[in-house]
Amino acid sequence: MSTAKAWIPKFYEGLRLLKASYFPKTCQTCGKTYATMDQFLAETSDVGHPTGLMEAIGEDHRPSVGLFRDCHCGSTLMIECGDRRDQSAAGQHRREIFQGLLDHLIRAGIEESIGRDEIIRLLRGDQSVLVERLGEASNGGG
């Protein structure tokens, strides 16, 4: 793998998490089924584009990004990487809660982009030293 493409596996890992619902994926030409993103990436080949990511028209007929790979039979397969936002009432509720948390951090003097990153870090189960320090300060600790 060339150095220029070294970031691609990590990027695909993110897509793997977002698009797990696209599997199993079956080639309509030969019937080959790919059970997981790992299998899909391992058993298909580049389409000649550096990343395989190209503009596509999604299932909702809106522009999106597609991950294109060639099946062993030569047919080109695509996984849509469009808007992952949950438009349901529960999704809207989660966004409102997230925004409330972000507003709290902004009022505490944290820049919005940094606050957003810290909340996401916590949601992923990682530690946020910044938020811990804010908690200590509000509890009189230090």
**Domain identity same for 14 and 61:** yes
Pairwise CA distance, residues 86 & 70, whole Å: 30
Q: Which domain holds residue 96?
A: 89-138
Q: What pLDDT is recorded for position 76? A: 93
Q: Above 60 in pLDDT, residue 7?
A: no
Q: Do residues 113 and 56 both lie within one domain? A: no
49 and 97 in a common domain: no
Same structural domain for residues 8 and 50?
yes
Give yes or no: residues 11 and 69 share one domain.
yes
Residues 102 and 42 in one domain: no
- Co-location of 121 and 75 in the same domain: no
pLDDT of residue 14: 59
> For 65-114, what is each residue's pLDDT tens digit?
788 899 999 999 988 765 556 667 777 787 888 888 888 888 888 899 88
Same domain? 13 vs 68: yes
Which amino acid, 1? M
23-71 tens-digit pLDDT: 789 999 999 999 888 899 899 998 887 777 777 666 666 667 788 899 9
Spatial CA neighbour of 128 closest among 112, 111, 140, 116: 116
